[in-house]
Amino acid sequence: MPEVFPVAWTSINWQAYLKLARDLTGEMISEKFDAARMTPGLAAFLVSLGQLVEAPGDARQIIEQSGGRLRHFSVSFLAVMHSETLYAFMEEVDLVITSCDSNRSAVKVVLISGNGEQWRDAIVNCSVERVNMDVRVLANKCQSYFEQQGLERIWASYTKTRLHDQTLVLGTK
């Protein structure tokens, strides 16, 4: 079973970002995430970007329809997995992957990085029945991290189904 640990993610300098946006555009781009009582983080950042470009809707809708704005943040995970899982995962994703051998036989230590859009697509591509269970486990664990950051709505257009092996698959609604 792969193990996954978030190790790096975009950090927003909220004080500078909000002040510059207000000074340069006259907009308080924190209004929608403040109204949703969101704590500063990646989800609030996406909402503020949506407000900056005048995306319609509330915070939830802005996250659901974030599209290319997902490219404005990045996340890296350190993972431990069997070589076969790594190779199967690599076939499904467009992420930056660096790996090395561990002190356990046939087990790799892997740094996996990408922007939000790459991660969303990778998780969708790896949360299907046709990939092996360990690849789904890896995708599910990464998705769980994004959901803990308030980004569960980026998968709002997908259904979640739990398989007999307890992994989740995503399907289009």
**Quick check: is 145 in a domain?**
yes
pLDDT in tens, 10-19: 999 999 999 9
* Domain end marker among 35, 52, 69: 69
| pLDDT confidence of residue 24 | 94
Q: Is the pLDDT of residue 173 over 90?
A: no
What does the mean pLDDT of the chain come to? Answer: 96
What average pLDDT does this structure show over 159-170?
97
**Same domain membership, residue 55 and residue 83:** no
Query: 42: phi > 0 → left, psi -120 to 50 → alpha, else beta; which?
Result: alpha
**Quick check: is 2 in a domain?**
no
pTM of this structure: 0.94
| pLDDT confidence of residue 114 | 98
**Same domain membership, residue 78 and residue 140:** yes
| pLDDT confidence of residue 104 | 83
**Same domain membership, residue 110 and residue 45:** no
pLDDT in tens, 102-142: 998 889 999 999 999 999 999 999 999 999 999 999 999 99
**Same domain membership, residue 145 and residue 81:** yes
| pLDDT confidence of residue 54 | 87
The count of domains in the chain is 2
pLDDT in tens, 67-102: 999 999 999 999 999 999 999 999 999 999 999 999
Q: Is the pLDDT of residue 162 over 90?
A: yes
**Same domain membership, residue 160 and residue 131:** yes
**Quick check: is 125 in a domain?**
yes
Residue type, 160: K
Residue 137's domain comprises 71-172
**Quick check: is 52 in a domain?**
yes
**Same domain membership, residue 162 and residue 107:** yes
Own/partner pairs for 7-16, CB < 8 Å, 24+ apart? 7/76, 7/77, 7/78, 7/111, 8/74, 8/75, 8/76, 8/113, 9/42, 9/73, 9/74, 9/75, 9/76, 10/42, 10/45, 10/72, 10/73, 10/74, 10/75, 12/40, 12/45, 14/40
**Quick check: is 4 in a domain?**
no
